Amino acid sequence: MNTVFSHRSDAPSPGTPDPKPAVSVNRWTFGIRASDLREALPRAFAKLDPRTQYRQPVVFVVWISSVYTTVLACIHPSLFAWGVTVFLWATVIFANLAEAVAEGRGRAQAESLRRAKTETSARRRLPDGTTETVPGSQLHVGDVVLVAAGEVIPGDGDVVEGVATVDESAITGESAPVVRESGGDRCAVTGGTRVLSDEIAVEIRTEPGRSFIDRMIALVEGADRQKTPNEIALGILLVVLTLVFVLAVATLQPMAAYSGGKVDVIILVALLVCLIPTTIGALLSAIGIAGMDRLVQRNVIAKSGRAVEAAGDVSTLLLDKTGTITYGNRRATEFRPVGGTTEEHLARTAMLASLADETPEGRSVIDLATERFTVNADQLEHGESVPFTAQTRMSGVDLPDGTRVRKGAAAAVLAWVSEESGGRADQQTAVDTRVIVDRISASGGTPLVVATVPAGAVPRIDGVIHLKDVVKEGMAVRFAQLRAMGIRTIMITGDNPLTAKAIAEEAGVDDYLAEATPEDKLALIRQQQEGGRLVAMTGDGTNDAPALAQADVGVAMNTGTSAAKEAGNMIDLDSDPTKLIDIVEIGKQLLITRGALTTFSIANDVAKYFAIIPAMFVPIAPQLHVLNVMGLSSPRSAILSAVIFNALIIVALIPLSMRGVKYAAQAADKLLARNLAVYGLGGIALPFIGIKLIDLVVSLLPGIG
């Protein structure tokens, strides 16, 4: 299983198109391919339809202003009037381009999913046991279909009979087949995937047109994207600010008339467009779509933007121990010899006893012996394998010379040695063995005792193997980062409290819940949600469904049951539980990006005041020339320069809205201070520089300077 540490933040996930090289003639310095812009540009023009445009109120105001100035420029043509008109339309088109580029990111994924969504025939089982062949589109919930090797599964459902390997590469991008079997938590199958071996009976769980692939297509294309509460609140704020500036600009003409002057209407329109929050208004939708796209790049499907946003506000993470914090399979980490036996001899006998052991634990014993002492299994004498049974709780090997080697639970092996020796075994060695066994158990590990009965000799205990559920590399560092972000981590495990405590301390989690039942998980989530805190968790089984539904961010594994995937609001196609940590970081990056660009947009207006206001009123009140701190050439040059900058800054910020502001694991106050310094002060300084540079060029045009 891939872990979160195998993914770079900029690495492509399975199932997504390979990006172009970092340095390419087809890629802008900012990180957007020129081909992306070419494909998005026609859609940006198509969005000029007022029936589409009105959904973005701030940009719609710019659209109305552009229409108005176009009429004025036709009636009273001039280079200044047409210059303002052209760049007002450019502002609208660039705003549409931002959303079109964001939507285009999901089209490649959607196209690959459409290719996977083929019309298939299904062998539907009838009540009398016979089958009939029907189109897959005629299947309904509750129908049972038979799917054999080489056939495509006709719809989403659960395996109710049999076991088979399934190719899910069309969905997950992973070429390795997966096992699906009836019962348990790996019974869910997806329509459009192909059975590679054996035959299974699948009970259909979705109606036609509502399959997992259908929903994924709609989600990655943004068709089902609903605005999140924060996005709605920010949108309302932008509308209010726009109305305030509309009223403010509307009063300027009467004020100018009262002072004995008159302001050109095109200048008033330009002032309005430059002062309303056009930058964030243009990028707001793109930021939300891009946040969901970043999840898609990690092979995570969010059912709504609300889930992505909630991930950014999560204060508690619930993580399963097995497979998330630990590797899930106990591994041999240490050989502890007793009774004068050397560690190398213990490694050899342990390896002998494990040669026929196909369990992960048995293979780890061989790996440890090979690593420590370069023991080659081919050099060992092979004999008759003795399999593990629940009655003996031991396994091992009987060699041709009569020597017998056993490995197993401490009590079982010690009893076997005592029985074989007839009371002649070294009692002190047995006492030393029990001490080591107790210490390993107290540390949360699992002890396996190894003993040998040589032919015609007294049985002896060789030592103890320390099996440990190994914590994944770097988990302590990741949890420390989460702690620095103010997020509390809780490990959930079915282990006894002693083992859970040992693993929790090594991994560095803040708390743990041992011997957890589904009811315990649900109660813990409700307890953590008291006071308005948001909770995230992962799960894959039917027994996890209530907790996934209760959690604010419920990440269901794609390998899990249909009930779990329906209950969660995100689905991890890679079924990697550690990805929950990445999801939280993506959610926080979304919130930070939205906040940073809002700060930048509002700060931009400060510089525009100094560019346009003096230019408008200097003819009426020459003493206002002192406010022309930029030293702009003329009133018309200043106004046109501000309009041009207002349009260009949108297209310049599209890559940042797609990529997201760089996220660092810091406390909220430090993140706020950094963003205010970078995007607040930067938002004030950049327009001063940009408008001045544009003015130097614009002032050379006839009738402008």
Q: Is 201 exposed, middle or buried (0-12, 13-18, 19+ CB in 10 A)?
A: middle
Determine whether the annotation assigns residue 393 to a binding site.
yes
User: Among 127, 152, 157, which Cα is nearest to 139's?
Assistant: 157
Determine whether the annotation assigns residue 572 to a binding site.
no
Determine whether the annotation assigns residue 206 to a binding site.
no
Residues paired with residue 405 on neighbouring β-strands, in sequence order: 397, 452
CA atoms within 13 A on the CB side of 536: 30
Six-digit token string for 47: 């969005």
Six-digit token string for 324: 């998330």
Q: How far is residue 497 from each of residues 193, 249, 517, measured CA to CA in Å?
A: 41, 68, 14
Determine whether the annotation assigns residue 357 to a binding site.
yes
Q: How far is residue 685 from each of residues 604, 610, 612, 652, measured CA to CA in Å?
A: 8, 12, 16, 16
Determine whether the annotation assigns residue 392 to a binding site.
yes
User: Among 530, 572, 574, which Cα is nearest to 553's?
Assistant: 572
Sheet holding 157-161, edge to edge: 131-135, 121-125, 144-148, 199-204, 157-161, 188-189
586 three-state secondary structure: helix
- Position 203, amino acid: E
Buried b (16+ CB within 10 A) or exposed e, 13-24: bebbeeeeeeee
Which parts of 524-668 are beta strand (E)? 534-539, 553-557, 570-572
- 57 contacts 277 by C-beta, under 8 angstroms: no
Pairing of the two strands 300-302 and 570-572: antiparallel
634 three-state secondary structure: coil
Determine whether the annotation assigns residue 658 to a binding site.
no
Determine whether the annotation assigns residue 388 to a binding site.
yes
- 547 contacts 554 by C-beta, under 8 angstroms: yes
Determine whether the annotation assigns residue 528 to a binding site.
no
**Active-site choice (36, 143, 156, 320):** 320
In 176-258, alpha helices (H) = 212-221, 229-250, 252-258
Q: How far apart are the first and last CA of the chain?
A: 65
Q: What is the SS3 assignment for 101-113? A: HHHHHCHHHHHHH
Q: Which helix (H) or strand (E) holds 500?
A: helix 497-507
Determine whether the annotation assigns residue 617 to a binding site.
no
Q: Is 434 exposed, middle or buried (0-12, 13-18, 19+ CB in 10 A)?
A: middle
Q: Which helix (H) or strand (E) holds 82?
A: helix 79-105
- Identify the sign of the CA torsion 645, 646, 651, 657: positive
Which parts of 399-437 are beta strand (E)? 404-408
Determine whether the annotation assigns residue 361 to a binding site.
yes
Q: Is-catalytic flag, 695? A: no
Six-digit token string for 283: 């990028």
- 186 contacts 179 by C-beta, under 8 angstroms: yes
Detail the residues annotated as belonging to a binding site: 357, 361, 388-395, 407, 540, 544
Detail the residues annotated as belonging to a binding site for Mg(2+): 540, 544
The set of catalytic residues is 320
Detail the residues annotated as belonging to a binding site for ATP: 357, 361, 388-395, 407
